[in-house]
Copies of this chain bind each other. A is one copy, B any other.
Amino acid sequence: MGNAATREHIVDAADQLFYRHGYEHTTFSDIADVVQISRGNFYYHFRSKDEILDAVIKTRLKQTQELLEQWEADAEQPADRIRSFIHMWFANRADIALYGCPVGTLTTELAKLDHTSQRDATALFTLYRSWLRRQFTLLGRGADADALAMHLLAMSQGVAAVANAFRDEDFIAHEVTKMCEWLSSYTDDAERGTPDTDESHNRS
């Protein structure tokens, strides 16, 4: 079977290094320095560097899924759930100013490398997209729920990219406020609303 703890250490270290320095730029030596194992020992746990990337993406997918479920459990109002998404950018603004968005930068890099794991990385985006779409649908925005989800994804991605370029975490704080205001305009709409779905959203 193998030591699950060591494997987990490798994946965690690789996850951070891929985020901070990119997948291609990260070497086995870099990871070995963090995990404190020899380069040769990687191959007991993984057959190749690509397999480590696979494991990293799988871990991220699982963690993201759990995060989204948490947000859904923590708030009954879809607007509040979406605010959890927006607030995430504020909470992580220091890292984002230094390294960008983990999802966006990995996806962009794999696209340029024409890497086989490209689709798996995009699935991370799809997870957020579907979840946001569901929340907007619950807000009575069935017809344009996907467009709103995509728009919010784009806004947050853009904020991360520009904040990273200018190393400006205050810009993230500023734009998070604007995203919340943007969301409020749709929340208010829902109150006097024109729901596109038959399902009534409870207790709103």
In the assembled complex, the Cα of A29 lies from the Cα of B105 at a distance in Å of 26
- Contacts A20-B112, A25-B24; A161 near B157 (Cβ below 8 A): yes
Interface size on A, residues (CB 8 A): 38
Indicate with 1 or 0, residue by residue over A152-184, a CB within 8 angstroms of chain B CB atoms: 011111110110111000010011001000000
Tell me the interface secondary structure of chain A in the complex: helix
Is there contact, CB below 8 Å, between B165 and A104?
yes
Check if A84 is an interface residue, CB within 8 A of chain B. Answer: no
- Contacts A151-B175, A156-B158; A125 near B166 (Cβ below 8 A): yes
Indicate with 1 or 0, residue by residue over A37-69, a CB within 8 angstroms of chain B CB atoms: 000000000000000000000000000000000
- From B22, B113, B164, A113 is in contact (CB under 8 Å) with B22
In the assembled complex, the Cα of A107 lies from the Cα of B163 at a distance in Å of 11
Check if A21 is an interface residue, CB within 8 A of chain B. Answer: yes
- Contacts A25-B24, A109-B109, A162-B125; A154 near B155 (Cβ below 8 A): yes
Check if A117 is an interface residue, CB within 8 A of chain B. Answer: no
Check if A78 is an interface residue, CB within 8 A of chain B. Answer: no
- From B105, B122, B153, A108 is in contact (CB under 8 Å) with B105
Closest 5 CB pairs of A and B: A158-B158, A154-B158, A157-B158, A22-B112, A157-B161
Residues of A within 8 A of B (CB): 20-22, 24-25, 98-100, 104-105, 107-109, 111-114, 122, 125, 147, 150-151, 153-159, 161-162, 164-166, 171, 174-175, 178
